[in-house]
Amino acid sequence: MKVVQVGCGKMSAYTMRYVLERQGELVGAYDVVESVIGKDVSEIIGGDPLGVIVEPVSELDASLKRVQPDIAIITTKSLVASIYPVLEVLAANHVNGVSICEELFYAWDSNPGVSKKIDELAKANGVTFTGSGYQDVSWGSMVTALAATAASFKKVHGISSYDLEDYGLETAAMHGAGLTMEQFQKEILDVNNISQEEMERLIAAGEFLPGYMWPVNGWVASALGLHVTKMTQTAKATTHTEDLFSKTLGRVIPAGDATGLLTVVTSETEEGVTVVTECIGAVFAPGEFDVNEWRIEGEPDMRFVMERPATVEMTCACAVNRLPDVIAAEPGYVTSEKLPDLKFRRTFA
């Protein structure tokens, strides 16, 4: 399997190594950051030089024509509109793609226009594009497996929390960490808490900003055979009762100021089943840790909790283990609930 890596930041250090450990052939790597361009990928993943030099993304088309890979791993941005130009180049060169872009996991509800364009582009060029990562199992097939043990259910409720200290200053800023309540209202809530009519307008225009769990609701509903009739998204600040030092912000967050963001996405369905997901990204207080929790309300009630998930490693392993499924799939934008259940790959050979 010949693989190229698009985006050579933190996540690529894992995805490229995992490809090589499975006897895949890494034939290209691309980025936009000047300090990374020109480096041998061994400087990112460690080990001896491999002779694969990071090239500018602007050279992607010419490079793909030269190396002729089977598939690309894309670890760049979070919205489908932002990765569409890369998908265009991949499709034109008949290269499949898997991305950890959160929205690509299931973008049909948040950006149907671009989703349709991706699907048509892929089909026209005989390739497949899929979103994968941590959510593929921990927010996906793990949930459907739990539901499969129920006789009936009326609600699926997921809660995912993560410490913003692990993700850097840009992510902390996106979550409003460190803002006063007045600043948080203006910069975060006024953008996220919009009317249903405005949300539908933004979705139709391709300008909606979905929370991380929005695509999960669509994926879970599709996997469970549910037909969504309405989706809503609300946000509010997380706070702490005492002053809290953030090493990412480099300062103390005063008690009562925003430590992060809680987003809740709710899907109503024709079948009367409600899917609710909560995403909590905050600067954690001492003793707090990442949690992935799912509850099924029905016959019987069930609860699954995963504490301290290694989100980065799991995201990259899921994407790499997905590669053979994507190559084997029918052409199009194929979300992973339509692919075989993800499984561990010891080798691609």
Q: What local confidence, expressed as pLDDT, does residue 242 receive?
A: 96
Instruction: List the 96-99 sheet strands across, edge first.
Output: 54-56, 25-31, 2-6, 71-74, 96-99, 128-131, 332-333
Q: What local confidence, expressed as pLDDT, does residue 49 receive?
A: 95
* 270 CB-contact burial (10 Å; exposed 0-12 / middle 13-18 / buried 19+): exposed
* 141 within 8 A of 304, measured Cβ to Cβ: no
Angle between helices 112-125 and 80-92 (to 10 degrees): 10
**Domain 2-132+322-338's class?**
alpha beta
CB neighbours of residue 108 within 10 Å: 18
Comparing C-alpha atoms, which of 317, 324, 310, 309 is closest to residue 14? Answer: 317
* 46 within 8 A of 53, measured Cβ to Cβ: no
Per-domain boundaries in the chain: 2-132+322-338, 135-309
Q: What local confidence, expressed as pLDDT, does residue 180 receive?
A: 97
Q: What local confidence, expressed as pLDDT, does residue 128 receive?
A: 98
Comparing C-alpha atoms, which of 220, 32, 71, 50 is closest to residue 141? Answer: 220
Q: What local confidence, expressed as pLDDT, does residue 204 receive?
A: 95
Residue 37 corresponds to which tokens in the numbers above? 């361009």
Q: What local confidence, expressed as pLDDT, does residue 156 receive?
A: 98
**% helix, strand, coil for the chain, step of 5:** 40, 30, 35
**Domain 135-309's class?**
alpha beta
3-state secondary structure 16-76: HHHHHHCCCEEEEEEECCCCCCCCECHHHHCCCCCCCEEEEHHHHHHHHHHHCCCEEEECC
* 93 within 8 A of 301, measured Cβ to Cβ: no
Q: What local confidence, expressed as pLDDT, does residue 50 receive?
A: 96
What tens-digit pLDDT sequence spans the chain (349 residues)? 999 999 999 899 999 999 999 999 999 999 999 999 999 999 999 999 999 999 999 999 999 999 999 999 999 998 999 999 999 999 999 999 999 999 999 999 999 999 999 999 999 999 999 999 999 999 999 999 999 999 999 999 999 999 999 887 878 998 999 999 999 999 999 988 999 999 999 999 999 989 889 999 999 999 999 999 999 999 999 999 999 999 999 999 999 999 999 999 999 999 999 999 999 999 999 999 999 999 999 999 999 999 999 998 999 999 999 999 999 999 999 999 999 999 999 999 7
* 83 within 8 A of 59, measured Cβ to Cβ: no
Q: What local confidence, expressed as pLDDT, does residue 58 receive?
A: 96
Query: Rounded to whole angstroms, how far apart are CA atoms 137 and 93?
Result: 30
Q: What local confidence, expressed as pLDDT, does residue 150 receive?
A: 96
Residue 292 corresponds to which tokens in the numbers above? 């992935």
Comparing C-alpha atoms, which of 309, 263, 305 is closest to residue 289? Answer: 309
